[in-house]
Structure 1
Amino acid sequence: MSCRIVFRLGSALSRHWLRLVPVLVVAGASGWAQASWQVEARSMPASPSTALTRQAAALSAPDVVPVVLPPWQGSKALVPDEGGVRQIGVARALGALDTAEKVASLLQWEALPSGQQVAAVQWMAPDAYGLRLGVEFAALPAVAVFRLYASPEASVSYEVTGAALLERLVADAQTGKRTWWTPDVGPAPVLEILLPATLAPSRLQWAMPQVSQMVVPPNMAVTHVGEVLQLDDAVVLTEKRRPNACQGDVNCQDSLLDQRDAVIRIFYVNQGRTFQCTATLINNPRQDLTPYVLTAAHCVGDQAAASTLQTSWFYYSQSCDSSQLFAGHTEMYGAARWLASSSANDMTLLQLNEPPPAGALFAGWDATALLPGTAVAGLHHPHGDLMMFAAGTAEDDAACKVDNGSRRLDCSAQTQSDGGFYHVRWSQGGIEGGSSGSALFVDGRLTATLTGGDIWCAAQDGRVVYGRLDQALASFAAWLGAEVAVNSGMQQPVYRFQVLKTGGAFYTVSSQERDLVIAALSHDLVFDGIAFYASARAHARLVPVHRYFNPNVGAHFYTTSDAERQFVQTYLPRWNYDGIAWWSPAQPGDGVEPVYRAYQYVPGVHLYSLQVQARDAWLADTGLLYDGLAYYVWDAP
């Protein structure tokens, strides 16, 4: 969704002022539309961070290759922030680095005393407020390590492994390449790459066809202290708060002081351009601290955008009406996993790839339909500013359509209480670009997320539209719904390794086994990320997938068939039984995909694929025996 949303209202609705008492009801066979569900808030306890940002004594590379970008020639007048998302960065093509061959000729690999190989490149854009590098991988070893520094002198880096990137990034359907948009750590970032001594640098192939250059001030001055890149305690914002009469500092009210620690300022990349919205960390019925985040679907609507997510936590003032940022502000760069979007409500559910910082609040939520006249409040980051507060009343329901192409929000009034959106009328505060995706609270619980409106900040009595959580909950039932406590072990990632010697594949649902293979067998197996999703435990609607291993060939075999198991155990004793690998859906259904299997006579391995194209190629290959359907899996969680 781009920056501008045009809001068109239909005729006013008749108002129903019957006062009802919300009741906790678990959704059942009668459907989600009539059900409500409440979850209370929970705070993130203080514990050692497991974030991927780690302390580094200093840059390891003795030499850093400089790349200076010429001044940006485009107009710095971006699309106006009239609701919707806020654009802060533009795409810039880099013809000098758009192929792996050009990058390889630029890198200067050197040996370290530890035996590792290292190379480092620094990008400099004198007219930029920040840079995000679009690193496009054609070949990515799992054992590669990437460190991002704000400058060669910085003592703290953001560090991520090739294995983590393979798991996080989506391969392009046409080229198979994966693009990593690095975090924004400033206008002159240094990318350092470390490889084991025994791994040829040619095994890593990457290019950088474009960067995203920040052309809008980021509203903060960044220094590097502690374990994450964050603000100095005494820093003052580099851009003053936008003057307007209607925004209210969150610290100048008392009702939502706890909830401010659940609200997040988010940044993401779409087609090389960087945008900012607002999101909220929420709790779940299991109360297990899984970092689920709600925002607008027109902000983050797929895995490609979720993989670029950068988050700002506790981004509010030090005190009421202060221009100084709270000293505990934290930036995090681990991105997120896209779980689902409800287009009918313009809402997306994400799961962060790293735990939130200590002190963050998992907001409570309430999926009860709001009655007209209900008092509501919103917390958001208008124009990327410090957190602001708005208050008003829920007015009526609306049926709306978000058009990403024309950047329009078309709404008509509803005569029934089953529309996908709420109309809210402000009596205090208002919204601006960057507010999209922010939470609407009732009695301290999240009940909707912001889509847009026709009157932004500078006038009271404005009307805006929020997507309804009670209507969207059906899309998020696997994570937030009534059966979530029962099915919490379902839909776990299954990891794939390519076996270099045979051309076959090895699969595991165990992250511990994944890490052991990466550490001990990196010369024999190449980690390829998430292949599909299955269950890590038994369930009545699932069947076990059994795993066998042939040490003579170095190949694995997977089956759900009892007949095949008996045949292998009776006639093929060289195949050792490894046990149950995972549990898969017993039959096809929504989101369930078949996995096809073929046997390659030489060297004697089985091939597996979800792709119909691969199946058709196997059928035409005389060197293969097509086995048919192997089992079912979830293609996405």
Structure 2
Amino acid sequence: MRIRWSFACLLLTAWGGASYAAESAVPTAFRAQVLPLSQVDSVALPAMNRSKVDREDIADEARGLPPRFALPHAMKITTGKAGTWERIDTTTSIWRYHVKTPDAASLNIGFTKFWLPKDASIRLYSPDGVERIGPLTAADNRASRQYWTPVVRAAELVVEVTIPTAQVAELELEIGQVGQGYRGFGGRKDGKRGDLPPDSSGACNMDVKCLLNADPWQDNVRAVAAYTLNGIRFCTGSLVNNTAQDTKLYFATANHCLDSQAEADTVVTYWNYNNTTCRIPGSAASGQDGDGPLNQSISGSTLRATFAGSDFTLLELNGQVPQAFGQYWAGWDRTPYVAPGGVGNGDFACSADSLCAAIHHPSVADKRITFAEVNTVSSGYAGNQIPPVPGDLTHIWVHWDATPVFPPNPGLTIPPQVTEGGSSGSPLYSAQRRFIGQLHGGPSSCGQTGDSLSDVYGHLSISWEGGGTPATRAKDWLDPANTGALTLDGRNACTAPPVPTGVSVTATAANRLDVAWTAVAGASSYRVYRAEGTCPGTNAQLIADNVSGTSYSDTSVSGNATYSYSVSAYSASATCASSQSTCSSATATGLCTLAPTFAGLTSAGSSATATCGVDLAWSAGSNRCGAATPKYSIFRSTTAGFTPDASNRIASCQTGTSYHDGAVVNGTRYHYIARAEDDTANGSGTCNSGNQDANTAAQTTIPAGPPAVSFSDSMENGIAGWTAAGSGVGANFVQVTTASHSPTHSWFSPDGNDIGDHTLASSSAIAVGPGATLEFWHSFDTEDTFDGSVLEYSLDGTTWVDILAASGTIPANPARFSEGGYTDTISSNYDSPVGGRRAWSGNSNGFVRAVVNLADFGGRTVYFRWRLATDNSTAGAGYWLDDVLISAGTSCSSGVDAIFSNGFDPSTP
């Protein structure tokens, strides 16, 4: 321990009237004259042994443990024996302790003794002050006299106590553990990853941000939180309502996540940890680190009940909920199983119109939502055994939607969503958005199909009675008045008005639907929601806010279309809205004004002919009014993000699904949008004043002449031109017909379960012309971040380097991939021949295209080779290569269309 009483600091009261109030989030050391951090007592944690960490995590997964995100370091750091004390004015002291690591993705502190005097405060922060926690005050004292902190996304952490000097003797503080994070939570704020594994959940998953604002599932999103326990592990859970409606912080999760009070003391829940944008499922962005905030958390909890039979644990979280968190208490449904089962007998109805859903935090990352449209089935639980045996019927088997809808763009095809490690304990909600169980396990992961696209949840109806005691069952806590209720709706933190009743919808005039409802006590206004189709409908949106009466006329409806309406009541004094009412549907009369269903352009590409041209294509749309086939208008601009209008329309009334634009010039980038229009004359379309869709799906391309091909192989003409070689486990590349891009053959090498190194190289050097590109199609399914494939080149056929690296006069260029670049960094801990390098790894879910800009190689002859490297652990399927093309663009000449695109056509007299 170092103690420094600085006379200079005693004069601080005259320096700008400095204040060190507990309410300030700014570290005291940033506002006072104190020792530099380099002179503060510190501990330096060792670098992590990644090989050991990975092996332990694999073993944990096999044992069914929740994922670990940090290594625990036991400490016994007290303010009386360690750290640095300073006096910063005549009445105030500060204590600091500096935790340093060379490689942490995050750090967290377990205070195993924590009791603050009434005027003391604690702040934790990264040395640069970017990441901060606190101030913690006496209001954060717990009966357990412990406090476990949220993570700080940094490799170094300062613990700072600011306290009146007269109260120092009352302070009780001990750092009992430091958690050295190595994955999850979106990575370090400085962006430095080193050899850290991926932080993101699977790209197939859907952010909760993708839900429309009026979607009723938005309530349940606010009920779900991620949580850490013991400072090292991670699960998910849900707030649940109780029949006393007293907003007690009852939090349902899984028994296999935690089952003791010692663990409950360490729980830290993270609220509204959601990515700030909607990433399209299946996109590269959806598989990258999210940016969800971690600034809303609650530390500590009390174990109320736990029951292994249905994998159920119920906690009561400590403290009060700040209003800013906006939490929601989910309702529940404990309908028991009654033979022979089925909907209403313990199984739950899920359909395309009434989806069930899981909301969860997969892989220690931002919140996602996964929907189910097939009825659930009561079952037992036997790990990942699918289908699960009926057994004791303690669980719920749910299949995830194989053809999910993307709310912002229902016409877009997206992959099925799933759950992952970290999702354990997360809620399954019925179509009525009531909690029915928590995730125990299952086989689902991105790319799964059939019964493997499913998971198993502990059944709330079993947890209700549990082991027959208050400590082992849910009913004492969720039904404290013993009402015997089978179901309960959710609620907000505020006291909302009653839900409006008597909702009716009537078609009173052409293109008009009148909505009416019964007034409720305490409502100052009402909100009206509209969905398409019969109840409950789809694509629900808030269409009217602050309606003062008990009726609303919707004049934006289309004739011959059915709409569903629901209403919520709002209290201005309580700043709280009720849940949405039961919906009511009606079909409108009048003109049909629904725009065609059309996803927009699917491709735009250079015609690659001597005369410049661009070829556009799209999938046929469908009219919702009028005749069956829409017509299409084409819009073009040289400006990205342009707005289609008459000034940039280049074609109207197209009846096919393609268009050739000859009014273009070489080397200019063009942007295109296509829109569909029906034949009703009921709108303002450009063809015949029909209803026109408003999609903004743009495609872009640059016109060029025919490519000058240096090399082309579709893998259909034998093995000539290629050399396969290799060593270790696995087989060399061979031609197969088991998978291909086109038409039937590809090269393939399997992903082995031990060290292997297999290559496929061009047998002779290839002349690369100026401005050339290398394009190929490949498919990979390898152990993610451990086995992978790379592309290499050689100038002499002997010395090989990565395609992004330098060799001889060829410079390094990390931006050499213009499409389909490397996906992961291969771990260097298991003797992979490409350990530490970027590579294609994981599952591409079929053939994908990669394009390499070979501008740096222009005028050279170059060998290229594809390489699959495996380490001494788990195997995957392997690597396929097809359709390799090396070509350089040539110039095209502008035809008469482009020359006279301003309207001065010489053929016009």
TM-score, normalization by structure 1: 0.54
Aligned to 1:419: 393
Counterpart of 1:479, as a letter, is W
Match status 1:181 vs 2:148: yes
Q: CA deviation at 1:93?
A: 4.2
Q: Of 323, 327, 350, which residue of structure 2 is paired with 1:360?
A: 327
Contact 1:399-1:411 at 8 Å conserved across structures = no
Match status 1:115 vs 2:81: no
Counterpart of 1:59, as a letter, is T
Q: CA deviation at 1:120?
A: 1.0
Aligned to 1:190: 158
* 3-state SS, counterpart of residue 87 of structure 1: coil
| Mapping 1:85-104, distance limit 5 Å | 85-94=66-75, 98=76, 104=80
Aligned to 1:399: 380
Q: CA deviation at 1:480?
A: 0.9
Match status 1:154 vs 2:98: no
Aligned to 1:134: 110
Counterpart of 1:79, as a letter, is D
Counterpart of 2:222, as a letter, is D
| Mapping 1:120-269, distance limit 5 Å | 120-137=96-113, 140=115, 143=118, 145-152=120-127, 154=129, 157-161=133-137, 164-169=140-145, 180-186=147-153, 187-199=155-167, 201=169, 204=171, 207-208=174-175, 210-220=177-187, 241-245=200-204, 247-252=205-210, 256-269=217-230
Q: CA deviation at 1:484?
A: 6.2
* 3-state SS, counterpart of residue 28 of structure 2: coil
Distance 2:377 2:234 in 1: 28
Aligned to 2:306: 341
* 1:114 to 1:296, Cα distance in 2 relative to 1, 3 A: farther
Deviations 1:63-87 (A, max 9, x none): 4433322323353415145775221
Contact 1:84-1:452 at 8 Å conserved across structures = no
Contact 1:261-1:360 at 8 Å conserved across structures = yes
Distance 1:355 1:385 in 2: 23
Counterpart of 1:459, as a letter, is Q
Match status 1:299 vs 2:296: no
Distance 2:126 2:270 in 1: 21
Distance 1:336 1:154 in 2: 29
Q: CA deviation at 1:307?
A: 2.2
* 3-state SS, counterpart of residue 104 of structure 1: coil
Distance 1:328 1:133 in 2: 19
Q: Of 435, 440, 458, which residue of structure 2 is paired with 1:446?
A: 435
Q: Of 25, 34, 41, which residue of structure 2 is paired with 1:65?
A: 41
Which protein shows a greater Rg?
Answer: 2
Counterpart of 1:454, as a letter, is P
* 1:69 to 1:258, Cα distance in 2 relative to 1, 3 A: same
Distance 1:358 1:91 in 2: 29
Q: CA deviation at 1:311?
A: 2.5
Counterpart of 1:397, as a letter, is S
Contact 1:430-1:458 at 8 Å conserved across structures = no
Contact 2:359-2:368 at 8 Å conserved across structures = yes
Contact 1:150-1:190 at 8 Å conserved across structures = yes
Q: CA deviation at 1:167?
A: 1.2
Deviations 1:603-636 (A, max 9, x none): xxxxxxxxxxxxxxxxxxxxxxxxxxxxxxxxxx
Deviations 1:94-141 (A, max 9, x none): 5xxx475xx63433333343623321111111211112223333x956
Counterpart of 1:340, as a letter, is A
Distance 1:453 1:328 in 2: 29
Q: Relative contact order: is structure 1 or structure 2 higher (C-alpha 8 Å, sep ≥ 6)?
A: 1
* 1:55 to 1:335, Cα distance in 2 relative to 1, 3 A: farther
Distance 2:164 2:57 in 1: 46
Counterpart of 2:161, as a letter, is I
Q: Of 473, 481, 484, which residue of structure 2 is paired with 1:483?
A: 481
* 1:263 to 1:207, Cα distance in 2 relative to 1, 3 A: closer
* 1:460 to 1:330, Cα distance in 2 relative to 1, 3 A: farther
Distance 1:327 1:410 in 2: 34
Counterpart of 2:251, as a letter, is V
Match status 1:466 vs 2:457: yes
Counterpart of 1:388, as a letter, is R
* 3-state SS, counterpart of residue 106 of structure 1: coil
Contact 2:184-2:364 at 8 Å conserved across structures = no
Distance 1:476 1:91 in 2: 32
Contact 2:274-2:292 at 8 Å conserved across structures = no
| Mapping 1:347-386, distance limit 5 Å | 347-353=312-318, 354-355=320-321, 357-369=324-336, 371=343, 372=347, 374-375=349-350, 376-386=356-366
Q: CA deviation at 1:260?
A: 1.7
Deviations 1:255-294 (A, max 9, x none): 633322222121221xxx6111111122222333322211
* 3-state SS, counterpart of residue 458 of structure 1: coil
Counterpart of 1:465, as a letter, is V
Counterpart of 2:143, as a letter, is E
Q: CA deviation at 1:346?
A: 1.0
Distance 2:171 2:88 in 1: 18
* 3-state SS, counterpart of residue 370 of structure 2: strand
Q: Of 288, 296, 299, which residue of structure 2 is paired with 1:331?
A: 296
Distance 1:327 1:434 in 2: 16
* 1:373 to 1:112, Cα distance in 2 relative to 1, 3 A: closer
Distance 2:182 2:203 in 1: 23
Distance 2:102 2:156 in 1: 8
Counterpart of 2:72, as a letter, is A
Match status 1:388 vs 2:357: no
* 1:220 to 1:311, Cα distance in 2 relative to 1, 3 A: farther
Q: CA deviation at 1:451?
A: 0.6
* 1:54 to 1:282, Cα distance in 2 relative to 1, 3 A: farther
Q: CA deviation at 1:458?
A: 3.0
Counterpart of 2:274, as a letter, is Y
Supply the RMSD in Å over aligned alpha carbons.
Answer: 3.8
* 1:401 to 1:65, Cα distance in 2 relative to 1, 3 A: same
Distance 2:135 2:294 in 1: 20
Aligned to 1:555: none
Mark the runs of 5 or more structure 1 residues left unpaired by the alignment. Answer: 1-52, 170-178, 224-230, 232-237, 403-407, 487-637
Counterpart of 1:420, as a letter, is T
Distance 2:291 2:104 in 1: 25
Distance 2:365 2:311 in 1: 23
* 1:56 to 1:476, Cα distance in 2 relative to 1, 3 A: same
Deviations 1:464-497 (A, max 9, x none): 21011122123122321151689xxxxxxxxxxx
* 1:299 to 1:481, Cα distance in 2 relative to 1, 3 A: same
Distance 1:380 1:114 in 2: 51
Q: CA deviation at 1:158?
A: 1.6
Paired residues in the alignment total 395
Counterpart of 2:313, as a letter, is T
Contact 1:286-1:485 at 8 Å conserved across structures = no
* 1:340 to 1:142, Cα distance in 2 relative to 1, 3 A: farther
TM-score, normalization by structure 2: 0.39
Match status 1:319 vs 2:278: yes
Aligned to 2:422: 434
Same amino acid, percent of matched pairs: 24
Match status 1:281 vs 2:239: yes
